[in-house]
Structure 1
Amino acid sequence: MKNYIKLFLGVFAITIISCEDVIDVDVQTDTIRLVVEASLDWEKGTTGNDQSITLRTSTPFFNTQNTAVIGAEVKVTNDTTGEVYLFIDQNNGTYTTSTFEPQVEVTYTLEIIYDGQRYIAQDTMNAVPDITQVYQDTEDGFDDEIIEVHVVFNDFEEEGDSYLFKYKRAQDLLPSFDVIDDDFINGNEVDRSYEIDDDEDSDIKALAPGDVVNITMHSISRPYYNYMDIVIDQMGGVGIFSATPVDVKGNCINTTNADNYAYGYFRVTQKNSVTYTVE
């Protein structure tokens, strides 16, 4: 019996010692790049003068250091009038202006000068239709027991419109996004629905009475529609019917060194926002 106890203690001691070994895991790294968060969104019915742009750098996966970009030069130009809007460095990675004048059917150019590199991007602001109705039912989704929220609007008669929808509840960690174009709905009344399925792994619950859903509808350019269509596919994960993850490039071009492109996107949109409480 004593020999058995000694043998057990010996194995236990070896196990404890082996648990102290440090295992080095090689993590794939990539080039550190500028990350541009430049969404100039004009809420319909407001002046849209106050806008902000955030700049940071990408980091390795386990790096938690502050990556805010300070000291960059940031400006946006109205390509029609030539008016320039300077964005002031707030010394925390955010650059702001209170003088922006949004106009529909106008293209704007973003210029960033940072670390000896010049980045430019362009996008066009389009008018957004009014949201005419928001309601709920359980008839049109994949599950007739799950509540869907519907957003109704009238698409403009001109072809080429694209839209981005953002849905967010207070309890959701991340919003849900949806993009559509008017290739098959041009000039018609459009009814867009939003539905959430229960997901125990992500602790996500379906829409329930009392839930408050913040809904934002953006009118977006076709290039941004194409970009977000890919991004939304990537956000859905990889499955048998899912897209394969790819390096999604935005529209921020480095004119100093094309290989040192930036992540992110410069967009200018007009938007409508509504809040709906599920019954």
Structure 2
Amino acid sequence: MKTYIKSILLLFCLVLASCEDVIDVDVSEGKTRLVIEASLDWEKGTTGNQQTIKLSQSSPYFQTNGNNVVTGASVKVTNNNTNAEYVFTDENDGTYTISNFIPVINHSYTLEIIFNGETYIGTETLMSVPVINNITQSTEGGFDDEYLEVNIYYNDPANEENFYLTKYQEEGDLFPLLEDRSDEFVNGNEIYDFWEKSDDEDTNEKPFEAGDKISISLYGISERYYNYIRLLIEQYSSGGDPFSSTAAQIKGNCVNKTKVDNYPYGYFRVTEVVKTSYTFQ
């Protein structure tokens, strides 16, 4: 009887194994495009002279190896108010650096990249950012009064439109939390923001505890960049949600002046930023 049962189980396992088919997912490959990571961020209290721009090329979805960095490009940023030109040095690893950049609040800057005989242009204005007045922790301002959250406070300038990007990242996390904000309903007032982590088994997220350290960056951004990053955050946050809208391609502020259809990915950003950190007590 035992031999009979073993035979049945073996046959059942063979049937299941024979039903497994290899499914090849046919993912269409888009055109290879230039990817521009040009964030000229001027940290308060520094000269802002040291800046880096990264260039690469897009790659197929399933490609996990290979070198797609861009070398040999010409990279220049021009201050449109003063006509001062800043030529970046090719480091031959996909990065282009400069050590004499001069950031000026409310000045307009144009990025020019020449690569493979094509010219890419992007223009942005350097926006200011207020200082962070105070950083506290509590369990009262978040979504759950059992979990710790960090709270930041800063003053929004009156009688002008302002847009902000806040980046929070716990020490050891691979990815930061990004939050966009406008002063549409809080113009001229103190702005309050917070970050709270919940207990989520699906994402392995754990609530904050005493001793946890986080970095905080507050950026003053343009309205155009606010609209761009807002769409990116929405698409990222809705990943895996069956009721979310279909993700769409989001274009930045850089265009190809030589071949309009061969547009690049990425964005040319110029901001002032306040950086700090906080350790939970």
- d(CA) in 1 for partners of 2:149, 2:4: 69
Q: How many residues align?
A: 278
Corresponding residue SS for 2:88:
strand
Taking the TM superposition and a 5 Å limit, the aligned residue runs for 1:104-115 are: 104-115=105-116
Q: Which residue of 1 aligns with 2:258?
A: 256
TM-score (norm 1): 0.92
Aligned equivalents of 1:243, 1:9: Cα separation in 2 = 46
Q: Distance in 2 between matches of 1:236 and 1:217?
A: 20
- Report the equivalent of 1:215: 216
Task: After superposition, give the CA deviation of every residue in 1:217-243 in whole Å (9 maximum; x if it has no partner).
Answer: 000011000101111101102436645
The CA RMSD measured in Å over matched residues stands at: 2.4
What percent of counterpart residues are identical? 46
CA distance in structure 1 between the partners assigned to 2:19 and 2:243 by the alignment:
43
> Does the alignment pair 1:49 with 2:49?
yes
1:207, 1:245 → 2: CA distance? 31
Q: TM-score, normalised by structure 2?
A: 0.91
Q: Distance in 2 between matches of 1:6 and 1:268?
A: 71
SS in 2 for 1:224: helix
Residues in 2 aligned to 1:145 and 1:7: alpha-carbon distance in whole angstroms: 53
- Distance in 1 separating the partners of 2:209 and 2:266: 34
The aligned residue for residue 275 of structure 2 is: 273
Q: Decide whether aligned partners of structure 1 residues 143 and 241 sit closer, same or farther in structure 2, where only a CA change above 3 A counts.
A: farther
Residue range with higher mean Cα deviation, 1-10 or 241-250:
1-10
**Cα distance change, pair 180–12 in 1 and its aligned pair in 2 (3 A):** closer
1:206 offset after TM fit, Å? 1.8
C-alpha spacing 1:22/1:42, structure 2 compared with 1 (3 Å) = same
Gaps of 5+ in 1: none
CA distance in 1, matches of 2:244, 2:18: 44
Tell me the amino acid that sits aligned with residue 268 of structure 2: F
- Post-superposition offset of 1:28: 2.3
Kept in 2, the 8 Å contact 1:216–1:274? The answer is yes
User: What is residue 160 of structure 1 aligned with on the other side?
Assistant: 161
Give the residue type in structure 1 aligned to 2:54: T
1:226 correspondence with 2:237: no
| TM-aligned CA deviation for residue 67 of structure 1 | 0.5
Question: Secondary structure, in 3 states, of the residue corresponding to 1:167?
Answer: strand
